[in-house]
């Protein structure tokens, strides 16, 4: 195969140009999918990070330098996320943001820790990610905190006393949430009247719904991802189940394309909502609308990524000598940072302490804000 010399020259020139910018700039790497099936899911992260960098550069940059956002394609795979982290660590980046899904962040975290590269995941909730090491942080809540909080919310706010749990036995995300919810709900004197499961390939929920139908309960808790959760919701409606269903942060508006109006009246957790009246949230919302010419922020990943990048800037400003080791130390001391998604203080693992869970209600093709709910043990 003959390679065009013009392509070679172009690529070589691009590398030189990036290196030149890196010397005069501060580089933040972004480990996300720009190709593959996860493009849509990671686009919000890209937009949020880009907005944070652009606003910082408009205000003079960081330590007298402009900031360069190095977007590295992880192709939506674990191997791609690992390779993207290696590229970031070998380059000029002082920190890395990403990835989207927890499995991608887990492999990226292992590289970042080994290479002493500070990493903040905006969206990944698996509790083991930050336990990889002291260079790893996150701005979203963990699955453990989410499950505990939803259990408390079901008992205290939805006034449920008898709950059915339907978990995806093929997804650790689902089983962690189910276990934590169950423990929390029982601590608030609630009763789990039935616990059942399905698998990753399940598409027909007739049997599961039929098992639940004769039971006496107040609420169904179904921690899972959008498509299969929506198929369950649709079948539940078709077979006459009329109690509300509560999901986790894996429930998105795409569920309407599978379940239609059957989604109305059900609840889910989220990391942020544009209707939260906090000053930082409103400013972000209006800036995002203006920058990307949209009426809505469809991905909470945008707000989380915006916070992640700004936490890096906040920590970097407090360093005497801006390097990866000093930045990690400064990040570990983050306390009461006023972000878009809440006030963030890191615990010893690099997770935000007791972050509020945003409760939303599905209403006419949208997710309406119900409230921000903070977990308090009984």
Give residue-wise pLDDT tens across range 177-229.
Answer: 999 999 999 999 999 999 999 999 999 999 999 999 999 999 999 999 999 99
What pLDDT is recorded for position 40?
87
Give the separation between CA 92 and CA 25, rounded to whole angstroms.
9
In a domain, 352, yes or no: no
- Shared domain for 82 and 172, answered yes or no, is no
Percent of the chain scoring above 70 in pLDDT: 94
Domain count, the chain: 2
- Shared domain for 27 and 12, answered yes or no, is yes
Q: What is the pLDDT of residues 135-147, one digit of tens each?
A: 999 999 999 999 9
Give the separation between CA 273 and CA 359, rounded to whole angstroms.
9
- Shared domain for 256 and 285, answered yes or no, is no
- Shared domain for 101 and 29, answered yes or no, is yes
- Shared domain for 13 and 59, answered yes or no, is yes
pTM for the complete prediction? 0.90
- For position 222, which CATH number holds? 3.40.50.2300
- Shared domain for 132 and 281, answered yes or no, is yes
Taking the chain, what is the end-to-end CA distance rounded to the nearest angstrom?
Answer: 68
- Shared domain for 57 and 180, answered yes or no, is no
Give the separation between CA 223 and CA 233, rounded to whole angstroms.
12
Biggest CA pair distance of the chain: 72
In a domain, 43, yes or no: yes
Mean of per-residue pLDDT scores for the chain: 93
In a domain, 23, yes or no: yes
**Contact indicator for 78, 109 with CB cutoff of 8 Å:** no
- Shared domain for 68 and 17, answered yes or no, is yes
- Shared domain for 156 and 65, answered yes or no, is no
- Shared domain for 365 and 233, answered yes or no, is yes
User: Does residue 37 register a pLDDT over 90?
Assistant: no
Which residue range forms the structural domain that includes residue 322? Answer: 5-140+277-346
- Find the mean pLDDT for residues 119-131: 96
What pLDDT is recorded for position 24?
81
In a domain, 153, yes or no: yes
pLDDT band at 23, cuts 50/70/90? low
Give the separation between CA 94 and CA 116, rounded to whole angstroms.
10
């Amino acid at each position: 195969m003959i390679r065009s010399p013009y392509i070679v020259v172009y690529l070589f020139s691009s590398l030189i140009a990036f290196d030149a910018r890196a010397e005069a700039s501060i580089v933040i790497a972004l480990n996300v999918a720009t190709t593959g099936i996860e493009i849509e899911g990671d686009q919000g992260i890209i937009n949020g990070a880009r907005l944070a960098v652009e606003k910082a550069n408009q205000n003079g940059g960081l330590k007298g330098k402009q900031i360069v956002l190095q977007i590295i394609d992880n192709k939506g795979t674990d191997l791609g996320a690992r390779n993207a982290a290696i590229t970031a660590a070998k380059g000029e980046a002082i920190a890395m943001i990403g990835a989207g899904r927890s499995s991608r962040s887990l492999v990226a975290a292992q590289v970042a820790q080994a290479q002493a590269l500070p990493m903040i995941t905006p969206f990944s909730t698996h509790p083991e990610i930050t336990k990889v090491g002291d260079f790893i942080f996150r701005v979203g809540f963990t699955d453990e905190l989410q499950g505990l909080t939803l259990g408390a919310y079901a008992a205290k706010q939805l006034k449920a006393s008898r709950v059915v749990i339907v978990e995806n036995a093929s997804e650790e995300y689902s089983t962690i949430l189910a276990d934590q919810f169950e423990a929390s709900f029982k601590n608030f004197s609630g009763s789990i009247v039935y616990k059942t499961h399905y698998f990753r390939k399940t598409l027909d929920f007739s049997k599961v719904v039929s098992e639940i139908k004769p039971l006496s309960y107040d609420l169904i808790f179904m921690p899972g991802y959008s498509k299969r959760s929506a198929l369950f919701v649709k079948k539940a409606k078709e077979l006459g189940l009329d109690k509300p269903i509560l999901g986790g942060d894996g429930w998105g508006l795409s569920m309407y394309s599978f379940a239609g109006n059957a989604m109305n009246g059900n609840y889910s957790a989220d990391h942020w909502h544009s209707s939260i009246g906090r000053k930082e949230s409103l400013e972000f919302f209006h800036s995002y609308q203006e920058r990307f010419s949209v009426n809505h922020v469809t991905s909470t990943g945008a707000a989380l990524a915006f916070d992640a990048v700004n936490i890096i800037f906040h920590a970097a400003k407090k360093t005497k000598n801006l390097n990866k080791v000093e930045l990690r130390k400064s990040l570990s001391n983050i306390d009461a940072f006023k972000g878009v998604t809440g006030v963030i203080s890191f615990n010893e693992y690099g997770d935000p302490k007791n972050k509020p869970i945003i409760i939303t209600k599905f209403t006419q093709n949208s997710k309406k804000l119900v409230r921000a709910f903070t977990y308090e043990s009984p």
